[in-house]
Chains A and B, each alone.
Chain A
């Protein structure tokens, strides 16, 4: 019986034409955080290549993280211009916003890492 007709376990990554381009999630996570916020797109791209069971959630989390980043810039900019915030307070708040983005991106990284580990395990490399 062909593999396509056999029962598929939900956590198994689906075959993807891009899977050979998938990179180790840890490497992607580290590299992505050096080039904020666009570096986070790398994590979304890796989600597509890994094609794991939580691919859409990973892409969504990355998109939200990028959204938080730019929303924080816009909001803090307005608050600064309006004189609501003084001095370096905006910098402290901006770090909190990036931290919130990082929580989402790190969650995406964790599930990607699980997918990558499972793929290695299923291929008998672990």
Chain B
């Protein structure tokens, strides 16, 4: 087998097993041998996306499109990267382009549903999800999307039903375990949710939803952890650019208040107290990510990854 083919097969096998980190080097080998093939660029984009290396993933997806402009999987990969970069409008345009190229692709409609849901456009999300399920009624990914949409609306019974349906189709599948875990957590069974998250991660160590559930279950155990988690989630939800504006906005407000307190002739204790509050805010914000990460990492030591990974 030529080195290009060998490297590609190796990378495909690793990606199938969920080992995106391991797939990067064989893909590098494949691209060293054949830099103008769209397929290895697409696989590399996918592996990098799973590793949340979004700058690299976006470049690779764009390169795949450049080499094969009418190939819908490349447009879908770019859409998923753009979605993670919080560029939802561009992600939607890329998905719509993929749907134009391959109208019968259930995955394209599913990705469209996910983008719409994250954008808060529930009716359109439901319509796209219905199309995806019509095209592929037994798709565990589409059923999982139905579960996550219900989770956002607090419909716990539907979340659990979706999880159980996935497990009946594919026993042990991590999406199903995560959805049932969310349902358990909503009912106040934190330990059970934690166990399900660990089971899901053992099945699929790259499942970010499982990692999210693990962190959520862990953080909800104590009020301080819960506060940290909520603050961290708020910043993540805002997206990078908005989070920067928000934090700088807090600084501007703090400085204005200090100046105003002098303008109004308030005691010098007021700016001192304000500075102290601001300092606590800064320390809290900067440490939130690290603390959440450490607590999750500690919990991850309990994961026993399945041998095939």
Contact = CB atoms under 8 A, between A and B. Distances in A.
Interface in B244-300: 244-245, 247-249, 251-252, 255-256, 259, 262-263, 286
B251 A53 contact: no
Nearest to B55: A11
Contacts of A12: 56
Contacts, number: 62
A89 B249 CA distance: 18
A110 interface: yes
A110 B240 contact: yes
Given A11-B53, A11-B59, A91 B48 contact: no
B176 to A, nearest CB: 30
Interface of A is mostly: helix
Given A1-B32, A9-B28, A92-B259, A103 B59 contact: no
B35 interface: yes
A11 B32 CA distance: 17
Interface in B53-80: 53, 55-56, 59-60
Given A106-B244, A106-B247, A110-B244, A9 B48 contact: yes
Contacts of B245: 103
Nearest to B21: A121
Contacts of A53: 55
Contacts of B251: 99, 102
B252 A99 contact: yes
Contact of B55 (A10, A87, A95, A103): A10
Range for the number of chain A residues in contact with chain B: 20 to 34
B248 A6 contact: no
B44 interface: yes
B28 A6 contact: yes
B228 to A, nearest CB: 17
A7 B31 contact: yes
Interface in B5-40: 24, 28-29, 31-32, 35
A5 interface: yes
A96 interface: yes
Closest 6 A/B residue pairs (Cβ): A11-B56, A7-B31, A11-B55, A10-B59, A99-B252, A95-B255
Interface of A: 1, 5-7, 9-12, 26, 53-54, 87-88, 91-92, 95-96, 98-99, 102-103, 106-107, 110, 114, 118
6 contacts: A1-B32, A7-B29, A88-B263, A95-B256, A99-B248, A99-B249
